[in-house]
Amino acid sequence: MDQDEILLDAEERMDKAASVLHDQLAGLRTGRANPGLVDSIRVEYYGSPTPLKQLATVSVPEPQQIMIRPFDVGTLGDISKAIQASDVGLAPNSDGRVIRLNIPPLSTERRKQLVSRVKDLAEDARVAIRNIRRDANKHADTSLKDKLMTEDIHEATKEEIQDLTKKYEGKVNSLAEAKEKDVMES
């Protein structure tokens, strides 16, 4: 692989790791209602697991409530079952047309658990980024050994890989800090 291929591959993979963290953090419950809480829920619909957002509109009419309005009222029971089976920890209230999820305020103990979970997720993302750095450095070393790049280009490539690593670790850190602040203040 040449320098551009190595750097492009590393950057794409690091960006993907940061995006995965972003999505995971969106699904963590804070004291406020957020449609991201139910994004990961899959509903058994005609025998196949279907994402909730393909079966219903999800809105936040009040700061402490999520409202789910199915496109087909017949799926109401299936959506309720999927919410109860999920790890969201919310009880669905159905009036026959919509499902309402009331978000209770978080206790201090629960907030600390959530902050701990945020830190774990952020560390997993940082480890993934460092593994990508290791793979990219191996590709650079192999390219040097196979005489596909000069020593100067090899060193420059490794520096750029390190710069990418710092950039994406910083992104992960800022995402985690923002979520921790959100959890503790809400």
pTM for the model: 0.74
* CATH code (residue 46): 3.30.1360.40
- Whole domain around residue 65: which residue ranges? 35-102
SS3 content of the chain, % helix, strand, coil (to 5): 65, 15, 20
In this structure, the answer to whether residues 39 and 98 fall within a common structural domain is yes
Pair (125, 149) in one structural domain: yes
Distance CA 71, CA 62 (A): 21
pLDDT in tens, the chain (186 residues): 889 999 999 999 999 999 999 988 887 777 777 888 887 789 998 889 999 889 999 999 988 899 999 999 889 999 999 998 887 778 899 998 999 998 888 888 888 888 999 999 999 999 999 999 999 999 999 999 999 999 999 999 999 999 999 999 999 999 999 999 988 886
How many domains is the chain partitioned into structurally?
2
Same domain, yes or no: 173 and 114: yes
